[in-house]
Chains A and B, each alone.
Chain A
Amino acid sequence: METFWEAFKRHGVSRRDFIKFATTLTGFMGLAPSMVPTVIRAMETKPRVPVIWIHGLECTCCSESFIRSATPLVSDVVLSMISLEYDDTLSAAAGDAVEEHRRRIIKEYWGNYILAVEGNPPLGEEGMFCVVNGKPFLEHLKESAEGAKAVIAWGSCASWGCVQAARPNPTTAVSIDKVIKDKPVVKVPGCPPIAEVMTGVIMYMVLFGKIPPLDSQGRPKMFYGNRIHDTCYRRAFFNAGQFVERFDDEGAKKGWCLYKVGCRGPTTYNQCGSMRWYNGLSYPIQAGHGCIGCSEKDFWDNGPFYERLTHIPVPRQEADADKVGAVAAAAAVGGAVVHGILSKIRNSKKREEV
């Protein structure tokens, strides 16, 4: 296969624009400026990598996000930088023709292609809750993963399970690393992940021929190293104790911190605060809505989204930790007083004389 530089030349891109592009890319991958020559060298010498992109139990929001990538433009990625050989959502071909092509690519590039998985396999009913090409997605996934060099888990579905794995998880949907155990899996969580994060991860793997450095949870460190809270532009209001109490109050108009209306920024690891969405246009908190923690494990089960503390299941009551705690503390004080009085009576001298 041709190298990136060759593909760029074929598309009539000038050397100057090529170097500009490589510099931008270096920044987006979270690398130091001193790495620019390395990236250029890699783009001149590394052949394009075939990618097989499969879809399981999911909503395609990851693909929707990916095609809105601005830096690098997704068209650049798809058309010139990777060789996207199979994607049942984006490809023009369908049915047996495209499935045959997938099998051919797996055989031809055995051990060299990247498998990108969007969505996850449901294990219940022998995988029949999600069927691709007449077979359970579970088999489709295992077959495609067998010859892959590395696997990318797109989005919270593939990384953690997401909404379909929320309690009570009727289809027994699981993250893909529960099924694929013998390959390196890069988790790129988010519902969906930020487009530039997706292209950044794929570019890193293509250019350096290895998976990016991962944290203990299997996420690329350069994109999931910080809490949204710690990079949020509204953080000053948090530190100053200026909070939105209701979505229609004065604080909301002034753009204060959304902590009290349930923002999950303090417990969520993502790039929303620094990279933002749609080429840096905005992100949920900037739009005035708290973060729901979509890139965190089991975020659907950590509701309600508009309150700081989860509800504790108390019959016929809405209660959180503070309510239950205060009631328990009051009960302890009351119990102590009653027990104290009874103890005093029981141990009094009068009764001893009787």
Chain B
Amino acid sequence: MRIYVFSPGLRIWHWVNFLTILVLFGTGLYIGNPFFSGPPGIEATHAYGEGLTMGFIRKIHFLAGYILLASFIFRVIIGIFSKRDRMVLPRFWTRDYWSSLKEITLKYLLLKKDSDGREYIRNACARTAYPLIYLAILFMIVTGFGMYGLSNPGGFWSSLLGWVVWALGGEFQTHMWHRWVAWLIIVAAILHVYFVIREEIIRRNGEISSMINGYKYFEKEPADIGDLK
């Protein structure tokens, strides 16, 4: 049974998000702890635009930050207008959510076989983890632009998000939070990739290719098919 799961907008967003997070994490690691020096033997004033300097890496970081922000807004908009793109939201109020969560936990603890029980397009574990990852990305956007804006106090970003920096206990603490949550997102990304590969190998349902062509394959009708229609 072939089911169309991911809209084109969502697929494009996913890969844009993948690239920007990769770039943001790499450049961010350098900005917080510059582990190699800029071009040697050049007078600093002129080194600004030459090669992999801190100035250049920061520029890339900010550029990628703007793209992440734009793609996040895009993601929210398609989520509002299309039912298909709202599938990440958990339904705490339904009994089905809790029984599905129990079932998937037992499967991940290897106490149950993956082929047992009901099938889901998106199981309760994923529906719990994804919103948290979205929140972490939102946290990074908010703290990031908060710190970015404070180089121009009274400007657009500092009046919009400057309060976040103070709410987290000052700018130094915000830098630390920004870094801790960055690592958290990377750990989450590793687990995300693992579970995608695991799903693909065990169930052979086209999990990996689904983020390219939009389709997944199921043996029986998934329990949450109603979320697509």
Contact = CB atoms under 8 A, between A and B. Distances in A.
Interface of A: 215-217, 221, 225-227, 230, 236-243, 256, 259-260, 264, 266-268, 293, 296-299, 302, 308-310, 321-322, 324-326, 328-329, 332-333, 336, 339-340, 342-344, 346-347, 352
B173 A302 contact: yes
Contacts of A260: 33-34
B172 A215 contact: no
B181 to A, nearest CB: 10
B190 A322 contact: no
B187 A332 contact: yes
A343 B104 CA distance: 13
A342 B198 CA distance: 11
B179 A328 contact: no
A329 B48 CA distance: 33
B29 interface: yes
A329 B183 contact: yes
Q: State the 3 A-B residue pairs at the shortest beta-carbon distance, nearest first.
A: A241-B38, A325-B183, A240-B47
Contact of A240 (B54, B180, B190): B54
Nearest to B174: A267
A239 B191 contact: no
B201 to A, nearest CB: 7
Contacts of A336: 190-191, 194
Contact of A302 (B37, B172, B201): B172
Contacts of B198: 339-340, 343
A226 B176 contact: no
Interface of B: 29, 32-34, 36-39, 42, 44-45, 47-48, 52-55, 57-58, 108, 110, 113-115, 150-151, 153-154, 162-163, 166, 169-176, 179-180, 182-183, 186-187, 190-191, 194, 197-198, 201-202
Contact of B114 (A339, A340, A347): A347
A240 B44 contact: yes
28 contacts: A216-B162, A217-B166, A221-B154, A227-B171, A239-B44, A239-B48, A240-B47, A240-B53, A240-B55, A241-B36, A241-B37, A256-B44, A264-B172, A297-B169, A298-B169, A309-B32, A321-B183, A322-B179, A329-B186, A333-B190, A336-B190, A336-B194, A343-B110, A343-B114, A344-B202, A347-B113, A347-B114, A347-B115
A260 B37 CA distance: 11
A333 B190 CA distance: 7
B45 to A, nearest CB: 5
Contacts of B45: 236
B53 A239 contact: yes
Given A226-B153, A259-B34, A322-B29, A267 B163 contact: no
Contacts of A342: 110
Contact of B33 (A217, A241, A308, A346): A308
Contacts of B37: 241-243
Contacts of A226: 153
Nearest to A321: B179
Contacts of A266: 171, 175
A242 B171 CA distance: 23
A328 B187 CA distance: 7
B179 A340 contact: no
A332 B188 CA distance: 9
Given A267-B175, A340-B194, A241 B180 contact: no
B48 A236 contact: yes
Given A240-B47, A243-B37, A325-B183, 7 more contacts: A236-B44, A296-B172, A297-B170, A302-B170, A322-B32, A325-B186, A332-B190
B47 to A, nearest CB: 3
A308 B190 contact: no
A51 to B, nearest CB: 29
A321 B201 CA distance: 34
Contacts of B180: 321, 325
Contact of A241 (B47, B115, B182): B47
A233 to B, nearest CB: 11
Contacts of B29: 322
A243 B163 CA distance: 31
B163 A216 contact: yes
A340 B48 CA distance: 47
B193 to A, nearest CB: 8
B170 A267 contact: yes
A239 B58 CA distance: 9
A227 B151 contact: yes
B183 A328 contact: yes
Max chain B C-beta neighbours (<10 A), residue from A215, A241, A256, A298: A241
